[in-house]
Structure 1
Amino acid sequence: MAYNFDEIVDRENTNGIKWESVQDIYGASDLLPLWVADMDFRGPSPVMEALKQRAELGVFGYTERPDSLYEAIEGWVLRKHQWRIVKNWICWSPGVLPALTACIQTFTKPGDRIIIQPPVYPPFFKVVKDNGRELVTNPLRYVNDRYEIDFEDLTNKFRTTGAKMLILCSPHNPVGRVWTRDELSRIEAICTEFDALIISDEIHADLTYPSFQHIPMASLSAGAAERTIVCFAPSKTFNLAGLQSSYIVIPNKELRIAFNKTMARGHLSMSNTFAITASESAYRDGDEWLEQCLAYIRANIDYAAEFFALHIPEIKMINPEGTYLLWLDCSRLGLDTAGLRRFMVKEAKLALNEGVSFGTEGEGFMRLNAACRRATIEEALQRLLNAVKARR
């Protein structure tokens, strides 16, 4: 069926954080919200229908995960990522962040060092520090309007700090890189050399664009599978974040047993009844919706890229290979962090994510969510253009 991604979906009065928390977070209510990473689209029709049928039963007691859910996940990962996983590798978590917390608590000790690669998803910083571990950064290199991994620095950081773990963001949020097989293989080689565990956050795995192919870190080789824990979820793919469900793929039996024990101690082993229904339906019947959704978002991205190039050359958009997030280099506006924040809120009337929240390497950048109606993107860019014109 053909989906209408131009449909107006009223997200107000739904307690949705993206739209209804703007006043509390940004101090103004007249902003266009393009910040938190969820979509403004209705989900796949098969998912909506499955949820309606489940709701009509009227009984929402404790629910086990059926074999059909595992089969749907196995089929999805094989179709989309050419990786054959098996049922007993799949573990469960309410979300990726609880899984990261469990991995840190299970496989490291207080005071151990953990490497992340900024500019990167802000909770990575917090989840390390909140658990009493020491943060080590391996900043990405911004070269010719594209981000690269600094492998020499990564090697040196492992050598000099004795780090026990790397938290990898793949595809990368916010810079939109889809790491190549060669890049992932180099990461594997370094982590093997220093006997480090890789926790690979692959929540954006399904959101890649033509000519870019996501490769699950653990699918690279038998060695990679032994030292990698992969975090997947339907939340970004199908806009199901509010149902709070993710699945964690751990081929290594010892790691899997240890992870599951930690989740059980925290009483985090159950799944939301509706999350089970939605996840199975999405992974079984969501291909058509996702294909159309990605084409729509890609058109939004192409529109934005052309608009910036033609009308707002002061802002450089990093063209994403994956995710629906636009990383905007605003350094040519000549504003400091506070000034850039005021400009976006007070003058452009936009609620975006501040680049500095992704690490000091993000200073001078903003993140914009392109998973919205074309009319919303057009309005946002026009507001931005008007604000820049007023400063010229």
Structure 2
Amino acid sequence: MGTFKKVNNRINTRSVKWDMRHAMFQSDDVLPMWVADMDFKAPQAVNDALIERAKHGIYGYTIIDDDVKDPIINWVAKRHNWKIDKEWLSFSPGVVASLHMAVQAFTEPGDNILVQTPVYTPFYSVIESHDREVVKNPLKQNNNYYSIDFDDFEEKLKQGVSAFILCSPHNPIGRVWKKEELRKMAQLCLEYDVLILSDEIHADLVYPGETHIPIASLSADITAKTITFMSPSKTFNLAGLQASYIITSDEKTRETLNAQLLKQGHNMLNTMGNTALEAAYRYGEEWLDELREVLQEHKDYVIRMLEEHTDVFSVTRPEGTYLLWINCSKLQLDSKGLKTFMNETAKVGLNAGIDYGDEGELFMRMNIACPRETLEEGVKRLIDAAHNR
């Protein structure tokens, strides 16, 4: 567990999380627990592979061969019980980039695209920047547990929706969708001829007792109507290396998507991303299992401390991801006041819930993928701020 205990200094490494503190929070004293990358080093096997590749010293154009594809196929089969074919794979620098290209390839300006709010903030720009319309299916909240409003879901599809961007596991609320939920959403999309764009970047990060099920794995009909977006970037903290893949079973759909990728110049991975992806999926499983134990401990610690030592913070217990969705409504502040409280009083840099949709106005999102020392300091700051408000 030493990898996950060590505090690594990320300042002056061009880290978005640490070196943009002043730009984001107007202070360098804020403890950053926001953007979804981890303060842990990647698996040693990944670092060794990158170092060995760098020794070669030549970084020309790089192919994606079976040595990269086979570990992906094996990983998805072993970790997610889904058998995919090599031909189904396409590649891009990241899931968000892939979503942008899918929206351009399969929808038209003015089309409606469904999302389930509150939801990962780039989904909005993925839709709106291409002159498509966001249609919301707000998730229902009851006692800090979120569920799908299927009546509203179907009603929105009836009104005309071209595509549905599914977040699975869901960011920011941490739901790992059950098979029955996935099947019902998929069947409705089939009924109303809606393409499913499934962002499954957090697929590997689920807690004990939970199982991530790729929605496309449910049946051949659903597979054909789904484009699945995955990456080792969240799992192994590789986001800066920009390597992701897309799984599309339907040949015509895949050809259309690949044409769009080529049009945008995204038909290969960078050399180091290619190397890291292969090493992570070949040798990173033990590291990941240790990480999940650490995240489970961290999650339980934060929830216990905030519930026992404050009366203003209530945490949605996540089933997946390393993100906590914290209800701050009892502070009786609006979204602007809540940001000020976190930045200036607590001095903890969190993601503002309002950025995930109006439903998140009185929430904050907290990243717990950090050493225990950092986590405890962040929790202490929140508790002290709650007492001194």
Alignment match, 1:89: 88
Report the equivalent of 2:65: 66
For the residue of structure 2 that corresponds to 1:4, the secondary structure is helix
Inter-partner Cα distance in structure 1 for 2:101 and 2:3: 39
Quote the Cα distance in structure 2 between the aligned partners of 1:81 and 1:268: 27
Determine the C-alpha separation between the residues in 1 that align with 2:230 and 2:297: 26
Q: Is 1:171–1:323's contact at 8 Å kept on the other side of the alignment?
A: yes
Query: What corresponds to 2:9 in structure 1?
Result: 10
Distance 2:267 2:2 in 1: 35
2:344 alignment partner in structure 1: 346
The answer to whether structure 1 residue 79 and structure 2 residue 64 are counterparts is: no
Match of 1:152, SS state, is: helix
- 1:375 maps to 373
Equivalent residue for 2:27? 28
Distance 2:141 2:244 in 1: 31
Q: Select which of 362, 365, 368 maps to 1:364.
A: 362
Question: Is the contact made by 1:3 and 1:289 (CA closer than 8 Å) also made in structure 2?
Answer: no
Equivalent residues of 2:7, 2:374 under 8 A apart: no
Q: Spell out, residue by residue over 1:38-79, the C-alpha distance to the aligned partner (whole angstroms, 9 max, x if none).
A: 000001011111111000001110010121111000110011
Moved more, 299-308 or 31-40: 299-308
1:357 & 1:209 partners in 2: Cα distance? Answer: 26
Q: Shift of the alpha carbon at 1:3?
A: 4.2
Secondary structure of the corresponding residue to residue 307 of structure 2: helix
Cα distance, 1:308 vs. partner?
Answer: 1.1
TM-score for the superposition, normalised by structure 2: 0.99
Counterpart contact for 1:320–1:326, Cα < 8 Å: yes
Q: Percent identity at matched positions?
A: 46
- Which of 184, 208, 229 pairs up with 2:227? 229
Distance apart, 1:270 and its partner CA: 1.7
Q: Secondary structure at the match of 1:229?
A: strand
Tell me the residue number matched to 2:312: 314
Which residue of structure 1 lines up, in the alignment, with residue 293 of structure 2?
295
- Structure 1 residue 313: deviation in Å? 2.6
- Counterpart of 1:164 (choices 158, 162, 165) is 162
Secondary structure of 1:259's aligned partner: helix
Deviations along 1:171-207, whole A, 9 cap, x unmatched? Answer: 0000000000000000011101100000000000000
> How far apart, CA to CA, are the structure 2 residues paired with 1:24 and 1:333?
25
Q: Secondary structure at the match of 2:42?
A: coil
Q: Secondary structure at the match of 2:29?
A: coil
* Corresponding residue of 1:254: 252
**What letter is aligned with 2:59?**
F
Partner residue, 1:127: 126
Q: Does the CA contact (< 8 Å) of 1:3 and 1:292 recur in 2?
A: no
1 CA distance for matches of 2:258 and 2:307? Answer: 49
Q: Distance in 2 between matches of 1:158 and 1:100?
A: 20
Whole-angstrom distance in 2 between the partners of 1:144 and 1:369 = 22
Once the two structures are TM-superposed, the CA of residue 314 in structure 1 deviates from its matched residue by 1.1
SS of the equivalent of 2:47 reads helix
Note the C-alpha offset of 1:144.
Answer: 1.8
CA–CA distance in structure 2, aligned partners of residues 348 and 55 of structure 1:
42
Deviations 1:248-267 (A, max 9, x none): 00011111000000000111
CA contact (8 A) 1:44 1:286 kept: yes
TM-score, normalised relative to structure 1: 0.98
**Structure 2: gaps of 5 or more residues:** none
Secondary structure, aligned partner of 1:60:
coil
